[in-house]
Structure 1
Amino acid sequence: MEPAIILVRPQMGENIGAAARAMLNFGLTDMRLVAPRDGWPNPKAVAMASGAAGRVLDQARVYPTLAEAMADIDYAYATTARGRELTKPVLTPATAMADARERTSQGERIAMIFGPERAGLENDDVARANAIITVPVNPDFPSLNLAQAVLLTGYEWSRDSLPAQPAPQGRRPDGEATATRIEIEKLADHWEERLDEAGFFFPTEKAPAMKLTLRNLWSRMPLTRADTRIFHGMLRQLIRRD
């Protein structure tokens, strides 16, 4: 069961929308809003959520008080950068979310609580939580915006289910397919042949090392199929001009 993300007295619709995007990045959809300053629904939140994250806002529930938003919660973490006189466990996002995953596996319902943008959670809010999450950031500038804080905890919550490395991309962001190994080999052969004819590999005893260096250069370049066509075309045009 996924944790609930509770935003207490959020002030700007744009920040609520950005938090929704951060949530959906890591598969979180249970957003709860406590007394949003500008009311609800908020068109600025929808505009910022952009696309699929809008469904997080569509499902968001609004409560007048934090106590009501937490009615079904067994264990809650309050996020704050400020020191508190309250005696509670203080955890990093990584430690807190490891604990949260363990509690969830035992059937507990978990929530992460985030305060309003300007001043964060009040002591009365923090008192309702079981533990505190504090991000170990630069002590001279410890402030995080709302979406950043949600993103950090969302990432730590999901990290065990994320791949160890990003998945290889078959296409570039612009949609162009990555060149295949054979296409790069043919490109390397084409250039080597023409450079050899032009006397580029000189002196003779250094030719093997030069060819190896050039072959390595082609293989490590992240070329698309369009790139290989351009390089072939450049070389053909140079030869025609000769």
Structure 2
Amino acid sequence: MSGADPGTEPNEDSAGEPSARRKPVVVVVEPETPGNVGTIARAMKNFGLTDLKLVNPPELREDGEAYGFAGHAREDVLPNADEVTFEEIVENYHTVGTTAITGEDDQSHERFPFKTPAELRASLKTVDAPTAIVFGREGRGLNNEELSQLDEVCSIPADDDYPVLNLGQAATVLLYELRELTVDETQLPDTEVVRAAEPDIERFHEYFGDFLASTGQREHHREKNALLMRRLLGRAHPTEREIHSLLGTFRKATTKLEHADHLAAKYDEPVYPRE
């Protein structure tokens, strides 16, 4: 295992401008359980990180817990992990220490002020620097002396009765929140919605108005429900397929209601119950 390396400079495009932000490295200080190291490596793999650095780690055997918990990270992240000293990380990186226990005010300088993972993401998004996310021990975390040497402090909001997360869980939550900085593409499909054409949406509102009339509602109720539907679709941004499906459904419902009225009149039967 080699020592701490702040990494290479980001790539430059043809204009000489940086084209990619350097991704953070992940540092685990004195982990006690190989399985947690493997879990962290797996989370790194999930969220586009590859550079794992370990301070005084336990033995990580290829047939042991670490590799068993690492998933596909056993192929690259874990075997390429560097063993480093805490001092090397402090000297070479902009450091973010993680802690579950924070200071409540500015009298606790080691643990206050602190950022939530979302706030940390917003902060790191505006700069490019060799950055290290530093996690502490399973049972005790980072101590005050260590935190005082780090540049920033991050804490995951949790229930006040039990705010301490398992080391692997904490790393997974934090790296998930930072994914906008580390993952270019995900397995999820494009989430942008193409809203149906406005004439089709207006045609739906006409059909819905006919449906309301066929139900026999009083006019002021029909007007209120028509407005509620307009507001609902305004928020929902229906797609072309969705609006066409709704059009067909309400058209058929209106036809059936009108047919029921016709049969009731033809055979002098009572109409179906109305309000």
Normalised-by-shorter TM-score class: 0.5 to 0.7
Query: Among 160, 163, 166, which residue is 2:188 paired with?
Result: 166
SS in 2 for 1:149: helix
Q: Give the counterpart letter for 1:153 in structure 2.
A: L
- Is 2:137 aligned against 1:113? no
Q: Give the counterpart letter for 1:166 in structure 2.
A: L
SS in 1 for 2:145: helix
- Point out the structure with the larger helix share: 1
CA displacement at 1:15 relative to structure 2: 0.5
SS in 2 for 1:103: coil
Is the Cα–Cα contact under 8 Å of residues 101 and 157 in structure 1 kept in the other structure?
no
Which residue of structure 2 lines up, in the alignment, with residue 137 of structure 1?
158
Cα distance in 2 between the residues matched to 1:164 and 1:48: 22
Query: Among 24, 30, 37, which residue is 1:3 paired with?
Result: 24
Structure with more relative contact order (C-alpha pairs < 8 Å, separation 6 or more): 1
Cα distance in 1 between the residues matched to 2:44 and 2:71: 13
Cα distance in 2 between the residues matched to 1:66 and 1:22: 22
Cα distance in 2 between the residues matched to 1:166 and 1:57: 26
Percent of matched pairs sharing the same residue: 32
Which residue of structure 1 lines up, in the alignment, with residue 48 of structure 2?
27
* Residues 147-205 of structure 1: CA deviation (Å, up to 9, x unaligned): 2211122122223656799328xxxxxxxxxxxx9xxxxxxxxxxxxxxxxxxxx9x95
- Is 2:38 aligned against 1:17? yes
CA displacement at 1:146 relative to structure 2: 1.3
Cα distance in 2 between the residues matched to 1:100 and 1:130: 12
Query: Among 45, 48, 66, which residue is 1:45 paired with?
Result: 66
Structure 1, unmatched stretches of 5+, are 169-180, 182-201, 207-242
- Taking structure 1 as reference, are residues 55 and 163 closer, same or farther at Cα in structure 2, changes over 3 Å only? closer
Which residue of structure 2 lines up, in the alignment, with residue 69 of structure 1?
89
CA displacement at 1:72 relative to structure 2: 1.9
Per mean C-alpha deviation after superposition, the further-off stretch among 144-153 and 157-166 is: 157-166
SS in 2 for 1:96: helix
CA displacement at 1:133 relative to structure 2: 0.3
Is the Cα–Cα contact under 8 Å of residues 97 and 153 in structure 1 kept in the other structure?
no
Structure 2, unmatched stretches of 5+, are 1-21, 191-240, 242-255, 261-275
- Taking structure 1 as reference, are residues 102 and 12 closer, same or farther at Cα in structure 2, changes over 3 Å only? same
Q: Aligned residue pairs: how many? A: 171
Which residue of structure 2 lines up, in the alignment, with residue 86 of structure 1?
109
CA displacement at 1:86 relative to structure 2: 2.2
CA displacement at 1:54 relative to structure 2: 3.5
Cα distance in 1 between the residues matched to 2:83 and 2:186: 36
Q: Runs of at least 4 residues of structure 1 off by over 6 A?
A: 162-165
Which residue of structure 2 lines up, in the alignment, with residue 195 of structure 1?
none
Q: RMSD of the alignment, in Å?
A: 3.0
* Residues 47-91 of structure 1: CA deviation (Å, up to 9, x unaligned): 11122453101110012x311234321x11111011342254310
